[in-house]
Amino acid sequence: MTLSEIAAWLIENDRYLIMTHRRPDGDTLASAAALALGLKALGKTVYLYPNAEITERFQDIAGPHLMPEGYAFDHVVTVDTASEDMFPAGAEHLAGRVSLSIDHHPSNTQYARLTYVDADCAACSEIIYALLQTLGVAITQEMALALYVALATDTGCFCYANTTAETHRIAAALMETGIDAGEVNRLLFRSKTRARVLLEGLILSSLEFYFDDTVCIVTITQDMLSRTRATDNDTDDIASISSGIDGVRVGITIREIENGACKVSVRTTPDVDANALCARFGGGGHTMAAGCTIIAPIEDVRRNLLDELSKLLT
Amino acid sequence: MTLSEIAAWLIENDRYLIMTHRRPDGDTLASAAALALGLKALGKTVYLYPNAEITERFQDIAGPHLMPEGYAFDHVVTVDTASEDMFPAGAEHLAGRVSLSIDHHPSNTQYARLTYVDADCAACSEIIYALLQTLGVAITQEMALALYVALATDTGCFCYANTTAETHRIAAALMETGIDAGEVNRLLFRSKTRARVLLEGLILSSLEFYFDDTVCIVTITQDMLSRTRATDNDTDDIASISSGIDGVRVGITIREIENGACKVSVRTTPDVDANALCARFGGGGHTMAAGCTIIAPIEDVRRNLLDELSKLLT
């Protein structure tokens, strides 16, 4: 499908339900909100699926568009959702019933009747921006704000390697509408909850270094979470703390979860295979970022990981 | 002066010495390097002043252009340097002898014979980019890399409120040359020295909150610096730690320096006047960011600041 064909289909039909993914981030929520605003501008009836996991931070953007109870939709459209496994809680019954999937994940499983994937886009919102242009929608400040939030979230504020020249060109166009991008960025990237700051303090004070300081292990116990009153919202991107230290080739974050298990995140430099390490514990991922869940106390998890690492780091 | 007039002057003359400012940041150093590369492309002889304070991080960019001993220059050009007070160590004798000042500080004191200031630019490198275009220089990858480094440094990777649509447009053009912006950003923004991480750990573990948690004080003692082996390079942007915590209106960083004195940085929300607070101790700055030096032990500095704050926060 081309973007023009997707646009034609959206103009032809009506009564849309836009669905975001499980554990929704800024890209899926704000892309959905921007698409909803664009379709409304075309006179369509459109709502967002009431994803129960929307965090405080994105309530203002997604909240106004949530579906009222009993909404009779004709078409489900997913944004930034690679597979039906990623459908939000309560939406399992919509598997097999999605009309259109708009996505930037190359792993999209083609579960929808119509699929548009552009894996070169840093954020799904880049596709939504192009789609709104194709639809002839004039980008309002409200749309621009949502699209900017999505773009900034998925690129770590234009910092990650996924950022392209096109990402910057879109950011420029969005800023021309007069949005206060500086304030968006302050909220998204330059402010932390007190719980997060206290948790980071505990983490940074208990870093462990191994193998000539090339391996750094961060341990997050349930006790640390309760002492700092940190919630899941406060642990975003914690895995990058250990891997972001100069000289560290392997950054490991071990987090104590329920039922005597630990969740392990591994980040590596290109010369160490994070996927290979995690695969030995039944997990997996990418070469430089992988994870696994190990049912054992933290001390055992740490020792087992170090044992396996000693074989990998030769 | 217009940019065309500056360009004409640069083409007409030769044998330039480009000078960066005291405590040089990425903008002054990389802007200077990009201008040097551009002028070299035009066949000019040009070197950078050997600023003694160039940090490790920017050696690769500025290092190759440093002036050899005994270089007989015709014209001194400063970049990103608002006043002669900002000249680097050893360059005091060049006061009154600068031919051209290219700057984005509105406070530029017009100390040069020719001055070009554009205060709407987030980084001085935005001006250098426009100047190279005006000079008809084809932007090479090496120039693009320097200009990108300068742009990213001064905008906190396109995060601060000074970032404009034009900033993003320039970033897009620079990325089109094929530079690895992701790797630049990883080094500049996503990696920390071990000393910095350990220092942050000590800081975050000893945050003090006052006035219903609206005031947060960070204290950095000489002991903390020596225990973590942190140097000046490791304390960049430390002042934003306390002010970036949700609910904090006044973030204060007290740093013990030599001779029984403390350096104080104050960051505030718009409703509290940082300048007014610092002015009571002989310092100053802006409404939301100011500083002062107080000759007293840390405990006294803290108490005096809290006393004055109790009058301001009413």
pLDDT in tens, B185-199: 999 998 899 999 999
CA distance B269 to chain A (A): 12
**Please, what sign has the CA dihedral across residues A248, A253, B225, B155?**
positive
Q: Residue A175 and residue B165: Cβ atoms within 8 Å? A: yes
Nearest-CB residue to A246 (from B173, B194, B213):
B194
Secondary structure element (H or E) that encloses residue B176, with its range: none
Q: Tell me what the pLDDT averaged over chain A comes to.
A: 95
pLDDT at site B250 = 97
Rounded to whole angstroms, how far apart are CA atoms B180 and B16? Answer: 30
B179 contacts in chain A (CB < 8 Å) = none
In this structure, which topology does domain A194-312 adopt according to CATH? Diaminopimelate Epimerase; Chain A, domain 1 (3.10.310)
Indicate the pTM of the whole model: 0.90
Rounded to whole angstroms, how far apart are CA atoms B302 and B254? Answer: 8
Whether A233 has a pLDDT exceeding 80, the answer reads: no
Q: Residue B161 and residue A186: Cβ atoms within 8 Å? A: yes
In this structure, which topology does domain A3-189 adopt according to CATH? inorganic pyrophosphatase (n-terminal core) (3.90.1640)
Nearest-CB residue to B172 (from A172, A193, A213):
A172
Rounded to whole angstroms, how far apart are CA atoms B313 and B307? Answer: 10
Task: Encode pLDDT of B197-251 as tens digits.
Answer: 999 999 999 999 999 999 999 999 999 999 999 987 788 789 889 999 999 999 9
Residue limits of CATH 3.90.1640.10 in chain B:
3-189
Instruction: Specify burial of residue A267 (Cβ count, 10 A radius: 0-12, 13-18, 19+).
Output: buried
Residue limits of CATH 3.10.310.30 in chain B:
194-312
pLDDT at site B236 = 79
pLDDT at site B237 = 82
Q: Residue A192 and residue B246: Cβ atoms within 8 Å? A: yes
Q: What is the mean pLDDT of residues A262-270?
A: 93
What percent of chain B has a predicted confidence (pLDDT) above 90? 89
ipTM, 2 dp: 0.89
Whether B286 has a pLDDT exceeding 90, the answer reads: no
What percent of chain A has a predicted confidence (pLDDT) above 90? 89
Whether B1 has a pLDDT exceeding 80, the answer reads: yes
Residue type present at position B91: A
A172 contacts in chain B (CB < 8 Å) = 165-166, 168-169, 172
Decide if A126 contacts A120 (C-beta within 8 A). Answer: no
Q: Residue A190 and residue B162: Cβ atoms within 8 Å? A: no
Chain position carrying tokens 């903008």: B27
Rounded to whole angstroms, how far apart are CA atoms A137 and B307? Answer: 56
